[in-house]
Structure 1
Amino acid sequence: TFESKSMAGVGVMFYVLLALRAELRARGVFDAATQPKLDPLLTLVALGTVADVVRLDANNRRLVAQGLKRIRAGQMPAGVAALFHAAGRKAPVATTFDFGFALGPRINAAGRLADMTLGIECLLTDDAGRAAELAATLDGINRERREIEGGMREQAMLMAESLFDDSEEPPPAISVFDPDFHEGVVGIVASRIKDKLHRPTFVFAASSAPGKSQELKGSGRSIPGFHLRDALDLVAKRHPGVILKFGGHAMAAGCTVDADSFDTFEQALAQVAQEWLDASTLTRRIETDGPLSPEYCRADMVDTLHREVWGQGFLPPTFSEEVQIVSQRLVGQAKNHLSIKLMHQGNPIDAIWFGHTEQLPARVLLAFRLDVNEWKGERRVQFLVEGAEIQ
């Protein structure tokens, strides 16, 4: 009967503690004045809710907003503060972006490549020195994770694109496996393929667990309209023994399959996707708020937007309109981001399209969000490109 059906485990545990405290208070173990204070936990609840990529419904947004409020006021565990410092982010202006793309990946990297207890200890310690040491270690592991991911992503993308010709549409679902893949980053790579091809995607690696050499561990990411966990359930029922175990939710799931059954899994998942998805669902669409009036293209307006809670199921404002491309070049260590200079309603604006390498025509309809780029003390609005419609 609880109103929120999209809570992360960390949120469930927080409400369990609230209920336990209420019960103990009713039994006279303590009163309102002496009861344990649970509100300091909201920083961790907020971090976990965003990092778990659950839908930010009204209740989850309340939890995240309360956590952000405390972090911005400097009320946070030593480990959270240390992670902000290691990531080069500013806690006084913390956003959900920091949770999802700065702190979360560093905590998760330990579980992917090393020992997950490093991240847990970092969040739990009250020793600022120990927290700084752990945060630096996690940052180093995350850098290693990015290096592994880069090579694996390129190889996995080539494998995915080899499944169809240039003149064809991608298959309704994509599954790839290579013996050299690292199981610690299969989910991240699946997400990258899903983003580019707009198809439910699973990436598998050989299990590194002792005695499990004949098992493949896979992680999947989905698109709107395709419930990944339910799809795995149907595959398991149609092909008993192929999936050894599975779990997850609509947009992300994991499973273990027998190594000899990968081809069967690949075909079975594609069959379910063929049955459940139509042409409309398989076409990537970006909902936008239309053109952006020039008077709102200000750094203080961007700051106002950033202070709000955005994320899965509650996306930040996205605008769309035709712009003139002045110049464009590839940037980043791997040259995999497109830096753009454009004219927006007669005004010059910088833009960046992360993970995109193809050049744009002189005039193009762009979908974009607002951000602020700081350089040598100067703050200027920039566009974060989400997509383009090229005729």
Structure 2
Amino acid sequence: MIQIQPRAISQRTVAALMDAGVHPLLARLYAARGIRARNELDYGLRALLPPDALTGTREAAVLLADAIEAGARMVIVADYDCDGATACAVGIRALRAFGADVHYLVPDRVTLGYGLTPAMVEIAARLEPDLLITVDNGIASVEGIAAARAHGMATLITDHHLPGDELPEADVIVNPNQPGCDFPSKCLAGVGAMFYTMLALRAELRERGAFENGREPNLGDLLDLVALGTVADVVKLDHNNRILVSQGLQRMRAGRMQPGIRALFAAAGRDPARASGFDLGFALGPRLNAAGRLSDMSLGIECLITDDPGRALNIAQELDKLNRERRSIEAEMQEEAAARLEGFDAEGNASIALFEPDWHQGVIGIVAGRIKERLHRPTVAFARGNEGELKGSGRSIPGLHLRDALDLVTKRHPDLIVRFGGHAMAAGLTIREADYPRFREAFEEVVSGLLEPADLQRRIETDGALETGYLSLDSARLLDQEIWGQGFPAPVFNDVFRVERQRLLKERHLKLELGKQGSRYEAIRFNHADGAPDTIHAAFRLAVNEYNGVSSVQLMLEHFEAA
């Protein structure tokens, strides 16, 4: 059973925001998301937290500036997701603009796995780097950093993942979640950590007079990359992250973006002049991620660092093809998962763990996410990894910190999980295939102990009913221009409607015409083939529907039930 639950709103805060000049509809939405004052909506770059507030950036700037002056060779070791690709692209573009000799590598998901492993260091050593830099990984690479130091490489970690009990002995670590770091934005993505490092480096080079005889590189030009990686990694959009995303979207809408970003918009059939967080999270991000899931993320990184628009478009089209292949594989895996879950007692279980021998490693995270959404249970999906091992990808629900849950599993069963890491809502792990049944039991035991019964009840939080005057195309466009995402959710409203007409599209999607107070509204519920009753209580989002050059408002139904 799904509960529709309106968010609590302080009318005093709404009034204060309106008095400060905030649109009445936005004032109501912002108040429900914890905004108390107009300055929390200041998305200008001057409101950005300063680079020197992030522990390690000053030391990283000195390390990098010294390396540039010495003509040292640098190698960036990236991650194979969108955050890692954009972080790598920010590093490559900025460091080359500063005159650095910099190259990059990205591990193969299947053969090398995640992060700076000793095997990855051996590959990097072939490039004979003086300095090894990690982006979106490294905080758990104790053995990898030790291997790099044994090769005589200096090491700089830029990451945002939670550290383990032991930190790597790198020369410098930039990570807002490392012990002793007081940086207020703990939700900074990997690309954000790299961007901050580059800001600190520019300040250091400026002090050294590096730009006296030439133009100082404008790092603001990289904010389209920062915005994409931040949204795609589904980190919490606190005020600082909303600034980064807002600035990136503004540049995209103004036509100021990397050729690769423009090419990804074209491949996705989206208009950058109306770029939104939805575009980044559901159109551009998945196409980049497809490279890391099914092929080699070097393809995605090349798309982001090339200055040749034609090459960028060719790569973006290849990424689009990979994304279509990814969707096909995912659909087949979801069908298999659904068959496995036939008769599954969701009420009697607090967690789900699934494994199929032929599942693709690159897609198990998406499948885990789909199952989690469907059954509202923390879910881990496994595929075969190295010989005798399973690689798992997990997704969680509000109320359960997934990485902490896996940590508790390891404390209770020290020999069960080979390695793990991640965040509150997503994590990866490796176990031995023979231990899969034992993991299912241990994971269920931990999750059931950490969650209350109420946590397992799925709720759709809404912003209440929307006045008829706001059920309009103008309102939909207004909301599209704002910054929404993880921790700052896009508006969802709820109301009662008459169902005037309904029909199925492609035997999968329910198309409806809804009536209320003499007005009619087009609505759709995707991936829902069951018909609606005559009167429904619906949770919905406002969207702009484009058809044959005509724009209209459309209600995107998240859920409905008989009124």
Q: Scaled by the length of structure 2, what TM-score is found? A: 0.66
String of CA shifts for 1:118-168, please: whole Å, max 9, x gaps: 11100111001101110110000100111111111111122234432xxx6
SS in 2 for 1:286: strand
SS in 2 for 1:329: strand
Give the number of the structure whose alpha-carbon radius of gyration is greater.
2
Quote the offset at 1:56 in angstroms. 0.6
1:247 aligns with 2:421: yes
Unaligned stretches of 5+ in structure 1?
none
String of CA shifts for 1:211-235, please: whole Å, max 9, x gaps: x121111111111111011111111
Aligned equivalent of 2:267: 86
Q: Is the 8 A contact 1:25 1:32 kept in 2?
A: no
The two structures, once aligned, show a CA RMSD in angstroms of 1.6
Counterpart residue identity of residue 380, structure 2: F
The 3 A distance-change label for structure 1 pair 163 and 390 is same
- Please say which of residues 22-31 and 130-139 is displaced more in the overlay: 22-31
1:343 aligns with 2:515: yes
- Please say which of residues 60-69 and 295-304 is displaced more in the overlay: 295-304
Inter-partner Cα distance in structure 1 for 2:183 and 2:213: 24
Quote the offset at 1:37 in angstroms. 1.6
Counterpart residue identity of residue 109, structure 1: A
Percentage of matched positions with identical amino acids: 55
Inter-partner Cα distance in structure 1 for 2:202 and 2:427: 33
Inter-partner Cα distance in structure 1 for 2:424 and 2:214: 42
1:218 aligns with 2:392: yes
Aligned equivalent of 2:447: 273
Aligned equivalent of 1:11: 192
What is the 5 A alignment of 1:345-364?
A: 345-364=517-536
Counterpart residue identity of residue 255, structure 2: G
1:234 aligns with 2:401: no
Quote the offset at 1:174 in angstroms. 0.5
Aligned counterpart in structure 2 of residue 50 of structure 1, from 231, 235, 238: 231
Aligned equivalent of 1:184: 362
Counterpart residue identity of residue 368, structure 1: F
Aligned counterpart in structure 2 of residue 368 of structure 1, from 540, 545, 551: 540
String of CA shifts for 1:262-299, please: whole Å, max 9, x gaps: 11111111111111111211111112111111111111
The 3 A distance-change label for structure 1 pair 19 and 133 is same
Aligned counterpart in structure 2 of residue 97 of structure 1, from 256, 270, 278: 278
Inter-partner Cα distance in structure 2 for 1:177 and 1:227: 22
Q: Is the 8 A contact 1:77 1:126 kept in 2?
A: yes
Inter-partner Cα distance in structure 2 for 1:180 and 1:345: 53
Counterpart residue identity of residue 193, structure 2: V
Aligned equivalent of 1:287: 461
1:199 aligns with 2:377: yes
Query: How many residues of Structure 1 are paired with residues of Structure 2 in the alignment?
Result: 382
- Please say which of residues 308-317 and 153-162 is displaced more in the overlay: 153-162
Q: Is the 8 A contact 1:323 1:345 kept in 2?
A: no
Quote the offset at 1:331 in angstroms. 2.4
Quote the offset at 1:324 in angstroms. 1.6
1:173 aligns with 2:351: yes
Aligned counterpart in structure 2 of residue 117 of structure 1, from 298, 301, 320: 298
Inter-partner Cα distance in structure 2 for 1:57 and 1:30: 33
Inter-partner Cα distance in structure 1 for 2:517 and 2:403: 45
1:136 aligns with 2:317: yes
Inter-partner Cα distance in structure 2 for 1:345 and 1:79: 47
- Please say which of residues 307-316 and 34-43 is displaced more in the overlay: 34-43
Quote the offset at 1:390 in angstroms. 4.5
Quote the offset at 1:345 in angstroms. 3.3
Inter-partner Cα distance in structure 2 for 1:183 and 1:75: 36
The 3 A distance-change label for structure 1 pair 337 and 67 is same
SS in 2 for 1:234: helix
Quote the offset at 1:26 in angstroms. 2.2
Aligned counterpart in structure 2 of residue 298 of structure 1, from 472, 486, 490: 472
Quote the offset at 1:389 in angstroms. 4.0
The 3 A distance-change label for structure 1 pair 201 and 345 is farther
1:157 aligns with 2:157: no
